[in-house]
Amino acid sequence: MRVYNFSAGPSMLFEDVLKEAQASFLDYENSGMSVTEMSHRAKVYDGIHNECLALFTELMKVPDDYQVLLLQGGASQQFDAIPLNLISATGKADYVVTGNFANLAYKSAKKYGDIALAASSEDKTYTYIPKVTIDSFRKDASYVHITSNNTIFGTRWKEFPETPCPLVADVSSEILSRDIDVSKFGLLYAGAQKNISAAGLTVVIVRKDLIGKELPICPTMLAYKTQADKNSLYNTPPAFSIYIAMLTLRHIKKMGGISAINKINVEKAAMLYDFIDNSTLFKNYVNKEDRSIMNVPFVTGSEELDAKFVKEAAANGLVSIKGHRLVGGMRASIYNAMPVEGVKKLIEFMKKFELENK
C-alpha cells in the first residue's frame, strides 16, 4: 500500500510519473533497454535530455540570456561552486542566513573571499525572514546569496530582496511550486529530490554573462562553463534522474503549469496552517507572513507527545513526519506531489489525536 510521505526529501513523486517510469522501465520507447542502461550519447537519450531542458525553460519562463544546467553533487556542492564561479568579479559576496542550509552555504563561501553576513534570523531560531533593503548589501559585492525556502525551519521569502549585484538563490525546496521571475536572479539552484525528481540531479539556472568567470583554482567539474559549453553532457549525466524530471515536468505542464500547481499548494498550506492556528494542542512558531507553503513545522509542546504523534501517524499511513533533528517536533513537507487528500488525511488524524490527548 502506498503511504502519504511527508518527508522533506527525498520526497513524494507524482503517482503518474512513477507508473509511467515503471511501464517503460524494461524497454524505453522500443530501445530494448531501460533509461538506466543506455548510452548518454545515444539518440534516444538525447530526446530525454533536451526535452527536460526545454520543459524547464518553458515552465519557468527562463529568458534567452540564461542557461539551464543539469548537474550532480546536490545543492550542497553549489555551496562551493557558487563562490568559485562568481566571486572573481570583486572578491566579495554577501549572505543572508535564514537557516541551516543558508548557514552551510555561508560557511563554505568563506574559503574563497571576503564574505559578509548581511542579515540573519538566528536570534529567533530562524522563525522569520529578516527585513532587508538594497542598503543591507555592499555595493561592491559580486553577488548576494539567499535561501528562498528554508526546509528545516519552514520559512520562505515571499518577496525577493532588491540587490546592487546578482541575486543567487537556493530554491531546492520550492522550485516549481510558485512562479519565480528568473530575470530577477543571477543564478538559481536546486537539488532535484524535493520537487523535481529522484536524487542525483542538481539544476542550475544561470545568467549567461556569469558563466566562464571561475577562479583559476575552480575544479573543472565545478566550473559552469564546463557543462554549459557541452549542453550538460561533458560527462555522464544522471540520466535516470533527468528522465524522472522530464516526466514530472510533463505532468506539471499537463496540470496547467506552475501557476496552476501553486494554487493547489496555497490551498493545501492554508488548510494545514488554519487547523494548527485553531488547535489547542499543535503550534507553529513561524512568523505568519514568512510561512513556507512547502514545509510546515509544528509541535505539541511535549517531546513525549510529539514522539507519540509521529509513531501513531506512521501507523496510519502518514509517514516521515518527524521534525529535523535540529528542531525536533514534527514537520509536514507538502511539496507539489503531495495530494490534497494527503493533507486532509493528516488534518483528520491531528484532530483525532488532539481529542485523544487533551
258: its cell numbers: 506552475
Q: Does 74 bind ligand PLP (CB under 6 A)?
A: yes
Give, in order, the Cα–Cα distances in Å from 311 to each of 17, 286, 306, 307, 331: 29, 24, 9, 6, 13
CA-nearest of 100, 93, 131 to 115 is 93
CA-nearest of 11, 9, 10, 13 to 21 is 13
Indicate the residue among 173 and 177 with the shorter CB distance to ligand PLP.
173
328 bridge partner residues: none
Indicate the residue among 38 and 68 with the shorter CB distance to ligand PLP.
68
Q: Does 333 bind ligand PLP (CB under 6 A)?
A: no
Task: Determine which residue in the list 11, 98, 121, 151 makes contact with ligand PLP, applying CB under 6 A.
Answer: 151
Least distance CB 330 / ligand PLP (angstroms): 17
150: its cell numbers: 528554508
Q: Does 142 bind ligand PLP (CB under 6 A)?
A: no
CA-nearest of 237, 213, 227 to 82 is 213
Indicate the residue among 248 and 300 with the shorter CB distance to ligand PLP.
248
Contact 147, 156 (CB under 8 A): no
Q: H or E element: which one contains 149?
A: strand 149-150
Q: 65, exposed or middle or buried, with CB in 10 Å at 0-12, 13-18, 19+? A: exposed
Task: Determine which residue in the list 75, 109, 204, 264 makes contact with ligand PLP, applying CB under 6 A.
Answer: 75
Q: Does 137 bind ligand PLP (CB under 6 A)?
A: no
Task: Determine which residue in the list 5, 6, 9, 272 makes contact with ligand PLP, applying CB under 6 A.
Answer: 9
Indicate the residue among 79 and 243 with the shorter CB distance to ligand PLP.
79
Q: Does 191 bind ligand PLP (CB under 6 A)?
A: yes
Indicate the residue among 194 and 322 with the shorter CB distance to ligand PLP.
194
142: its cell numbers: 559580486
User: Of residues 194-223, which lie at the interface with ligand PLP (CB under 6 A)?
Assistant: 194
Least distance CB 338 / ligand PLP (angstroms): 15
Q: Does 175 bind ligand PLP (CB under 6 A)?
A: no
23: its cell numbers: 511501464
**Site of interaction with ligand PLP (CB under 6 A):** 9, 74-76, 101, 147, 151, 170, 172-173, 191, 194
